[in-house]
Amino acid sequence: MVNKLKVACLQVSAREYEDRCENKENILRMIDKASDAHPQLMVLPECAYPAYYISPLIVKNSLEFQKSTLELITEVKQRAKLYKCYIALGMVETDLIENILYNSALLINPKGQEISRFRKSYLWHFDSHWFCAGEQYPVIETEFGKIGMWRRKTWKK
């Protein structure tokens, strides 16, 4: 097991849903820039994509949103593989079958594979108006040790 883990925390602005295309490009630019420091793990914040402020009806019913989310995930996977690092991506996830939203985090490994998905479980303030609560707390074994993810305020449940 490695004794040290170099982590890059990438802070994106809390944007509106209408700014999602710009936000997507900003996320990818930030990953590219952070790669200069050769981190083993890059972490993006809660709802980094499409935005922190969303309109649930637009997101749930938007095929364009579905397509752009899949494109972003694909590009982040490619970068994880290119830069040989783990990337944790905070995003709004849609369940097309149930037509519901989750405040989720994906963990992508250096091979470009999604190895974990966490859905925020403790919904506070306006979260519960938009999102459904997740029920699992996945922990993944890596060469650095165990990695778990949570979203802000999850621990208060």
pLDDT digits (tens, 9 = 90+) for 4-44: 899 999 998 878 888 888 999 999 999 999 999 999 999 99
Return the CATH architecture of domain 7-156. 4-Layer Sandwich (3.60)
Indicate the pLDDT class of residue 2, thresholds 50, 70 and 90: low
Which of 96-100, 133-137, 152-156 has the weakest average pLDDT? 152-156
Give the per-residue pLDDT at 67.
86
Give the per-residue pLDDT at 71.
96
Count the Cβ atoms, other than its own, within 10 Å of residue 75: 15
Give the per-residue pLDDT at 157.
46
107-111, 125-129, 141-145: range with highest mean pLDDT: 107-111
pLDDT digits (tens, 9 = 90+) for 97-121: 777 888 899 999 999 999 999 988 7
Any long-range contacts for 56-64 (C-beta under 8 Å, 24+ apart)?
A: 56/101, 56/129, 56/130, 58/17, 59/17, 59/92, 59/94, 59/101, 60/94, 60/99, 60/100, 60/101
pLDDT digits (tens, 9 = 90+) for 81-97: 999 999 999 998 887 77
